[in-house]
Chains A and B, each alone.
Chain A
Amino acid sequence: MSQAVAVPEDMEQVYAYPRSLTQANSHYCPGCVHGIVHRLVAEVIDELGIREKTIGVAPVGCAVLVYNYINTDFVEAAHGRAPAMATGIKRVSPDKIVFTYQGDGDLAAIGTAEIIHAANRGERITTVFINNAIYGMTGGQMAPTTLEGMITTSTPGGRDHLLAGYPMRMSEILAQTAGAVYVAREAALDLAGIRRTKRAIKRAFLAQIHGLGFASVEVLATCPTNWGLDPWAAMQWAKENLGAFYPLDTFKITDEVKALPV
């Protein structure tokens, strides 16, 4: 409960709890960036006034319970299959707004085929892709996006490309597909980045609202627990290291998407 404090009459509310977020306390670890991005998605849904016609597709991974937090209709996909499920939903419900929320294991490993083909078909869906370079839920194993040299529970000596290949830049790959109209990478690691992330997510939803094609936003994030860093230190580490390998950029934006008022 909030402290019972009288708000002076000459004060206005500048931040309120988003309507599209449930009151549930999340299961995420302290400082987990999922909480920030969930909130941004909810704020965007509120601002666009689309809560009543939005259908979310939940991933497998730490965000598996996202439907407990974002207050819209939801389905729970099998690991990696969210874009296929979203395709099925959107094709039979073209007037609804359909989004997937996926992590790096879900989107960049087991679901690589589904995301690339959904993008290439130009499915009118929105994808929010959280990249924290590790498998959080299963205990900190290597993700496709794990940096070289990064120690995880399945790369005890650090990721070695001779053994485990190279980190994958998924947004750059998705931007190659003809059906994608908007592909961006942002970082929810500081205030400016969080604001830019929200703007990108809004643009990706708007692209769908206007029926333009596939839109995705990759969000660089942290995993304080499995990285073994406190949440603030994890953000600084991510800015320096993830940011160096995964440039923040808009990899694809069509003129129609560019013209959308965000």
Chain B
Amino acid sequence: MAKQLLKGNVAFAEAAVRFGLQAYFGYPITPQSEALEHLSGRMLREARVFLQAESEVAAINMVYGAACCGVRVMTSTSGPGFSLMAEGLSYIAGSEIPVVVVNMMRGGPGLGNIQPSQADYFFMTKSAGHGDFHPIVLAPASVQEIIDMMGLAFELAEKYRTLVLIAGDGSLGQMMESAELPPMQPLPALRPNWAVTGADGREPNVITSLYLVAEHLEEVNLRLQAKLADIRQHEVRFVEAQTADAELLLVAYGTSGRICTSVMRQARQKGIKVGLLRPQTLWPFPAQRIGELCEQVRGILVVEMSAGQMLEDVDHAAGGRVPIRFHGRMGGMIPMVDDVLADLQALATSLGLAP
């Protein structure tokens, strides 16, 4: 496939179609509505299911229903819509059904605005609904990466029968970049044996998250936790740049991670030995690698479009071994390279590392 100029929202929607998306249910919300618009025509042309729901609450429950039938299904939204979906996400997690949800984060809290943000980090990684669970959270930093991660998201969702969230932000959804789409994948002919397909020649399948006996529900939770431990062990993903000789470490994901790539380049030109760790999975978080790097680097600068949410995970991973600074912008503001660079230089100076 040749590269083409693609808008982030259209790119992930089209990628999903090519990775075998069989049904999409969604509700328009800025800054991701182009995905829904793209799929409204595209899915019908492929004789697949597209439906604009009456709310995000309905959308996620339609997704839940379709997912119970064992098909590849997804929805996409942004902060306020994601809040409404929390109920459904918990049921999906509780009944261990594969579902993919894209959240193009925007400024909050409340109605906030439609500019990019990373302030749903806590919500997505730690508390996407009531009860004990973590979704897998993927964090793309470019249009190409969001395309690639759509395929990964479906694979992981089905491999672990779990919820996979894609943590994008408004800028990623709205930006246009050159990227390559995958070829069309054939749709599976069969549905998995756990799905509801009609009890023909077998006992009925019941998909539920209700376990009224405490001992039973604890067992279910223990099994869920064991699965999450397995995911934690095998599915941590991150990109590392110039860490071999790094004395300082930038930790940032998504759009902030891209900005930090520029910061790193400029800092290197000024003689600051800085590396970058960009988590591609926010859950499971690359805590172990950050811990290892803490044996090498002298200080960390965390950059986010929030008041400092991933910061807590970095802090936990570092375990007090090195000083951590934070550069955050909120309300739809994007960190500027010069400002981050200034903070990095200040950190270097405070550690006696300034060239």
Contact = CB atoms under 8 A, between A and B. Distances in A.
Q: Judge: A and B partners, yes or no.
A: yes
Interface stretch (B149-157, B193-201, B297-305, B335-343): B193-201
Interface residues of A, number: 32
B207 interface: yes
Contacts of A51: 199
Contacts of B73: 88, 92
A222 B197 CA distance: 33
A75 B196 contact: yes
A203 interface: no
Contacts of B127: none
Contacts of B88: 78, 81
Contacts of B57: 81, 84, 113-114
Contacts of B54: 113-114, 117
- Which of B53, B71, B199 has its CB near the most chain A CB atoms (within 10 A)? B199
A84 B59 CA distance: 7
Interface stretch (A66-74, A127-135, A186-194): A66-74
A85 interface: yes
Interface string A36-52: 00000000000000011
Given A84-B57, A113-B55, A117-B58, A76 B65 contact: no
Contact of A76 (B55, B59, B67, B208): B208
B199 A58 contact: no
A85 B201 CA distance: 24
A77 interface: yes
A77 B61 contact: yes
B10 interface: no
Nearest to A87: B62
B197 A85 contact: no
Contact of B23 (A74, A85, A92, A117): A92
A239 B352 CA distance: 86
A176 to B, nearest CB: 16
A71 B204 CA distance: 7
A75 B207 contact: yes
B193 to A, nearest CB: 12
B104 interface: no
A57 B65 contact: yes
Contacts of B208: 58, 67, 74-76
Contact of A53 (B67, B68, B69, B198): B198
- Which of A65, A76, A86, A88 has its CB near the most chain B CB atoms (within 10 A)? A88
B82 to A, nearest CB: 16
Contacts of A77: 61, 64-65, 91
Given A75-B207, A76-B207, A92-B49, A84 B62 contact: yes
Contacts of A65: 210
B69 A72 contact: no
Contacts of B63: 88
A51 B198 CA distance: 7
Contacts of A53: 198, 200
A224 B253 CA distance: 58
Contact of B199 (A52, A57, A89): A52
A183 B95 CA distance: 32
B180 to A, nearest CB: 29
Nearest to B59: A84
A89 B65 contact: yes
Contacts of A96: 197-198
Contact of A52 (B49, B95, B200, B205): B200
A42 B199 CA distance: 14
Interface in A99-125: 113-114, 117
Contacts of B69: 88-89, 92-93
B40 to A, nearest CB: 14
B51 interface: yes
- Which of B23, B63, B64, B68 has its CB near the most chain A CB atoms (within 10 A)? B68
A73 B197 CA distance: 7
A81 B66 contact: no
A76 B206 contact: yes
A122 to B, nearest CB: 12
Contact of A78 (B66, B87, B198): B87
A251 B80 CA distance: 38
Interface string B273-285: 0000000000000
A88 B66 contact: yes
27 contacts: A51-B199, A52-B199, A53-B200, A67-B208, A75-B196, A75-B206, A77-B65, A81-B58, A81-B87, A84-B58, A84-B61, A84-B62, A85-B61, A87-B65, A88-B63, A88-B69, A89-B196, A91-B51, A91-B62, A92-B23, A92-B49, A93-B69, A93-B197, A96-B198, A113-B57, A114-B58, A117-B54
Which 10 pairs show the lowest CB-CB distances between chains A and B? A88-B65, A85-B65, A76-B208, A84-B61, A88-B62, A88-B66, A52-B200, A81-B61, A53-B198, A73-B196
Given A64-B210, A73-B206, A117-B53, 17 more contacts: A53-B198, A67-B204, A72-B198, A73-B204, A74-B205, A75-B207, A78-B61, A84-B62, A85-B61, A87-B51, A88-B23, A88-B69, A91-B62, A92-B71, A92-B73, A93-B69, A114-B58
Interface of B: 22-23, 25, 49, 51, 53-55, 57-59, 61-69, 71, 73, 87-88, 91, 95, 196-201, 204-210
Interface of A: 51-55, 57-58, 64-65, 67, 71-78, 81, 84-89, 91-93, 96, 113-114, 117
